[in-house]
Amino acid sequence: MPVDPVTRAVLHMEGEGSNSLPRSLVRFIHILRHLGMRISTAETLDACQALLEVDLLDREQVRAALGALLVKSRAERQIFTMAFDRFFVPPEEKDRRRRERRQLLDREEARLEDARKELQDALAPWGTEINFTGEEVHTFAGMPRKERERLLELVRQMRGNPVNNPGAMIGRIMQSALNYWRYYLLKTRGEEGRRELEAELTGEEDMDDVIDGVAADFYRHPEDRLLYQDMQQIADENLERATRIIQHLSDQLAHRLSRRYRQSRKRQVVDIRRTIRRNIPCGGTPLKLSYRSRRTHRPRLVLVCDVSASMARYARFVLQFIYGLSSAVQDIESFVFSEDLERVTPGFRQGRGFVQTMTDMINASRQWGRTTNLGRALSSLRHNHRSLLTGDTIFIIVSDTKTIAPREAARELEAIRRQVKDILWLNTVPRREWGTLPGVAAFAPLAQMFECHTLAHLEEIFCRQMLKHSR
> How confident is the model over 184-196, as pLDDT tens digits?
665 555 433 344 5
**Orientation of helix 145-157 relative to helix 166-187, angle to 10°:** 160
Q: How many CB atoms lie within 10 A of CB 31?
A: 24
pLDDT at 53 over 80: yes
Checking if the pLDDT of 73 tops 90, the result is no
Look at residue 380 in the predicted model and tell me its pLDDT: 92
pLDDT for position 326: 63
Residues 6+ apart with CB under 8 A from 211: 31, 34, 35, 83, 199, 200, 201, 202
Residues 6+ apart with CB under 8 A from 19: none
Mean pLDDT of 253-269: 55
- Cα–Cα distance between 208 and 212 in angstroms, integer? 6
List the beta bridge partners of residue 448: 424
Q: Is 232 exposed, middle or buried (0-12, 13-18, 19+ CB in 10 A)?
A: middle
Mean pLDDT check: name the lowest of 15-24, 58-67, 282-291, 447-456.
15-24
pLDDT the model gives residue 198: 65
Integer Cα distance of 407 and 432 in angstroms = 23
**Within 13 A of 286's CA, how many CA atoms are on the CB side?**
10
Angle separating helix axes 74-87 and 21-34, nearest 10 degrees: 130
Q: Across residues 108-129, what is the average pLDDT? A: 79
Q: Which phi and psi angles does 307 have, rounded to 5°? A: -120, 30
Strand partners, 332: 301
Give percent above pLDDT 70 in the chain.
Answer: 73
Cα 375 to Cα 414: distance, rounded to the nearest angstrom: 11
The answer to which of 32-41, 250-259, 413-422 has the lowest mean pLDDT is 250-259
Amino acid at 371: T
Which is more confidently placed, 415 or 330? 415
Highest mean pLDDT among 68-82, 149-163, 349-363: 68-82
Which pLDDT band, with edges at 50, 70 and 90, does 418 fall under? very high
Highest mean pLDDT among 173-177, 184-188, 417-421: 417-421
| Res 148: pLDDT | 80
Cα–Cα distance measured from residue 51 to residue 327, given in angstroms and rounded to the nearest whole number: 42
Q: Give the pLDDT confidence score for residue 7 in this predicted structure.
A: 35
Q: Give me the domains of the chain, ranges plus CATH numbers.
A: 5-88 (no CATH), 93-187 (no CATH), 261-294 (no CATH), 300-469 (3.40.50.410)
pLDDT over 90, % of the chain: 9
d(CA 421, CA 355): 33
Identify the top-confidence range among 126-130, 133-137, 159-163, 339-343: 339-343
Supply the pLDDT for residue 443: 92
pLDDT computed for residue 193 by the predictor: 38
* Of the ranges 162-176, 185-199, 214-228, 344-358, the best mean pLDDT one: 344-358
Task: Express each pLDDT in 327-354 by its tens digit.
Answer: 555 578 888 888 888 888 877 666 666 6
* Chain centroid to CA 67: 21
